[in-house]
Amino acid sequence: MKKIHIILKACLMLLLLCNATFAQSGTPTIREKHNIVIDGIEETWQLEWSGATSPVCEPEGADWITCPCTGFAFGESGDLYLVRKRTGHRDERLSLTQLFSYADETPSGQAVLRRWDVLDEDHDLYDKTGLAERVRKRKIARVMDFADYDHDGRSTEFILQIGTLPCGKQMSVVVGISRSNPHLHAFTSTGHPQQPLIMQAHQWESLRTANGPVKTVGWQCGDHGGEEEYELELNARNGKIFATQRTYTCPETGRGKLIGQEDY
């Protein structure tokens, strides 16, 4: 009887250990959740961490103020999913972690989200004690800010930063649903429909607010020694995004001649 009791106790301890391990590495954690109405039907969209997360560009350190941490400062990293819930439908899940593999530079090998917003005053106090304590008392930063980037008449998508380029260029995609693709996806251009359209955050915003074609500069002459200037002409009509990249030479002053043009 005593031997059976020892065996049962050992089994119970093993079960508790397995449950604890699963809770740390396998249980989804809802980072953010919103109810939105699409075509008169309410849906729930949420960002889920699949398992544990790790801090990125922490307020305790000095790297959060550097260029690679722009947009990711005071952040967290892990395996991230976008989940869409609708009554009468199976849940949709989109791996956002996979989108980060398209980025040239991220502060982590996984998905990264800013956890707390950076305030202007933080830059004056970045090397002072007490900053981390103040930061951690702030409310969690919002990620899903829905808007109509493809101009299909519905605000059913949001910007997601997936990387940075020198210095502090926030390389981003837009994810959500569209009239032409009613399932969760990363938005593409007409020129390259098989891969996510990656642009700087300010270029996405220019597209969102434009009433027609808009020209945006992605890399200026002289930026980090750049000897060419890259311009993106963007346009969105009825759910389709058109993007053309033009390359110019960089003379001693101003912009030089056009030397290349391609679908982006």
pLDDT tens column, 236-264: 999 999 999 999 999 988 899 999 999 99
Shortest CA distance to 220 belongs to which of 211, 235, 230, 206?
230
Shortest CA distance to 128 belongs to which of 80, 66, 59?
59
Q: How far apart are CA 253 and CA 248, in angstroms?
A: 13
At residue 84, what is the residue type?
Answer: R
**Is 51:26 a contact under the CB 8 Å cutoff?**
yes
In this predicted structure, the answer to whether residue 16 has a pLDDT above a threshold of 90 is: no
Cα–Cα–Cα angle for 38, 202, 235, nearest 5°? 65
| Mean model confidence pLDDT for the chain | 88
Which position has the higher pLDDT, 123 or 1? 123
Q: How far apart are CA 33 and CA 45, in angstroms?
A: 6
Shortest CA distance to 177 belongs to which of 210, 205, 144?
144
pTM of the model: 0.87
58 Cβ contact list (under 8 Å, min separation 6):
64, 74, 132
Give the model's pLDDT for residue 62.
Answer: 85
Percent of the chain whose pLDDT exceeds 90: 76
